[in-house]
Structure 1
């Protein structure tokens, strides 16, 4: 999934990736909480349903939050930490596109889990975020997949650790970043399909309007009317509340909102996968679940270097 606030240095990304040990997966497994918190998935499912009823953008915001978390320090909920001095991941320009509704969805799910005496303070924020992301997909019409569990929460969150792809990245730069996470080009294209939900601020793509020949002229005219200011926003695809393959059909028509999305079609090395997903939603769904499972294994913390936070916003 492409991010909406990316830094320019791929070299810096490689340094960060090298520090986060992508595949610390020894303790991850479905059913990790079977004897600890047997109703966990039902509790999270019901809580996410309530969040989605309260806010139409909560599902897309939660899915994006999961990617931003895993792609920085690993899947350890460090993106949720609030530091008193403001030096935390959400303070980075790269994370300014994250919406409060995603954070609130996880906080509400955590509160619901901790209301169960059997579960209280025994389930990590990182695992709740992973489950909430899955539920956001499923309850928006997307595929169900088993979530591997057993993550511990990280103890560190800093602005400088946030290194994510840019909206103007070409295919080589996108592949370079995602390969550092242990993900293939196919994984990257499938995860980019998460942009089937949500919106982007005009400031992230306004420079393309009328200047990028890969953008459909009618679409450009439409966006020109939408983006009356940098604070305006536009939907990433025509079905922003549903999880489907419309994103890829958009790319075929030159209607990708972000440059880093449209390049997946304009570059012949990735166009075939875009075309296949556009005509085979089931294949996209399957590949998306594979990629989400692989993403969920990145930089996993254990009891030796993590904790189970009582409040997802603060270390214990």
Structure 2
């Protein structure tokens, strides 16, 4: 889900296996956390996401990606939502995120609706987590009881965003390392990669595979030749930076077809196809299992989304409940936050990291 133009991929991220963010040991997350203080929070989030997805079906994938990009950088604390200020360097301008994140305005719309019902109660981190689960449901995927009670960070970390988010050209070793930093295992890697069952990517992230893979002047040999020609029609060399479906079969639906595509060399990104085409990889039997039984995939996706959503969470007296998702509370009162949505809505989907 966000890297940057391939013309500068030589600068792309090195996975730094330091500063591991294990699951928060003192987290007290509970699906019923808002039972008394904001009992309608789930239905409020669902209504906003459902209405937006009617006009923009891609938004469902974008919200899941936004959650992923949050959790992989100092934990699931809504740090990705923070804008630049005099004291905060926003993650939104990190190389994986710049001009690519979508859904920031949707999160703000949700926050506004939630604040009207339950002022000062629900964190932006929980809103983003709920929006991801609801996006899965609306996309035809699994639902789950979302553990709640996260609080919002007071900081962002652009450096970690550049380091921790896996790139679309990562090989399997690099992908595993990026996930291990977050305490996620190989099954989590394959299951969460299944989020590419829907959504779009920009052509710039597959041009190398189509025309000059690894400097060979030839296409990636792990690409099906018919699929290669289809992609070349959408993404001509030197042509416009069009959007292309992750899944050519069911592009707006969460299902097992993503894994079936990998089996026939139709993974869109190199990082997708690596899961099946890396010789002897332990990810291959997992792909086969998910492809043959959608319920098995859904169960694993649910478990991995919950596990990811628990990374480095802030609870108790840590962090805060932001009044506006783009600013810490001290900054919020100094700004006319009504202007924020218009600044965010120009973001364009498509530039993706491997998830």
TM-score class, shorter-chain normalisation, is over 0.9
CA distance, structure 2, for counterparts of residue 41 and residue 209 of structure 1: 43
Question: Residues 15-35 of structure 1: CA distance to partner in whole angstroms, max 9, x if unpaired?
Answer: 2x43x4433452111100111
TM-score after normalising by structure 1: 0.93
TM-score after normalising by structure 2: 0.83
User: Please, what is the CA RMSD of the aligned residues?
Assistant: 1.7
CA distance, structure 1, for counterparts of residue 72 and residue 26 of structure 2: 15
Q: 1:207 to 1:97 in 2, by over 3 A?
A: farther
* 1:99 maps to which of 98, 101, 105: 101
Question: Residues 39-61 of structure 1: CA distance to partner in whole angstroms, max 9, x if unpaired?
Answer: 11111111111111131211010
Would you say the 8 A contact 2:82–2:156 is kept in 1?
yes
CA distance, structure 2, for counterparts of residue 282 and residue 21 of structure 1: 28
How many corresponding residue pairs?
308
SS of residue paired to 1:282: helix
- The 5 Å alignment of 1:182-201 reads 182-201=183-202
Aligned: 1:237 with 2:238: no
271-280 or 281-290, which moves further after superposition? Answer: 271-280
Aligned: 1:258 with 2:257: no
CA distance, structure 1, for counterparts of residue 201 and residue 81 of structure 2: 21
Q: CA deviation at 1:178?
A: 0.8
139-148 or 269-278, which moves further after superposition? Answer: 269-278
Query: Can you give the 5+ residue segments of structure 2 that lack an aligned partner in the other structure?
Result: 212-218, 330-355
CA distance, structure 1, for counterparts of residue 244 and residue 203 of structure 2: 7
Would you say the 8 A contact 1:61–1:98 is kept in 2?
no
Aligned: 1:8 with 2:13: yes
CA distance, structure 2, for counterparts of residue 25 and residue 279 of structure 1: 38
Q: CA deviation at 1:155?
A: 1.1
CA distance, structure 2, for counterparts of residue 96 and residue 240 of structure 1: 24
Partner of 1:150: 149
SS of residue paired to 1:178: helix
Q: 1:242 to 1:257 in 2, by over 3 A?
A: same
Partner of 2:125: 126
SS of residue paired to 1:93: coil
Would you say the 8 A contact 2:2–2:167 is kept in 1?
yes
Partner of 1:37: 38
Would you say the 8 A contact 1:140–1:242 is kept in 2?
yes
Aligned: 1:60 with 2:61: yes
* Structure 1 outlier segments of 4+, above 4 Å: 2-6
SS of residue paired to 1:115: helix
* 1:214 maps to which of 201, 222, 240: 222
47-56 or 65-74, which moves further after superposition? Answer: 47-56
Partner of 1:299: 312
SS of residue paired to 2:201: strand
SS of residue paired to 1:193: helix
Q: 1:146 to 1:132 in 2, by over 3 A?
A: same
Partner of 2:233: 225
Q: 1:245 to 1:45 in 2, by over 3 A?
A: same
Question: Residues 155-205 of structure 1: CA distance to partner in whole angstroms, max 9, x if unpaired?
Answer: 111321212112221222111111121111001100000001101111111
Would you say the 8 A contact 2:73–2:157 is kept in 1?
no
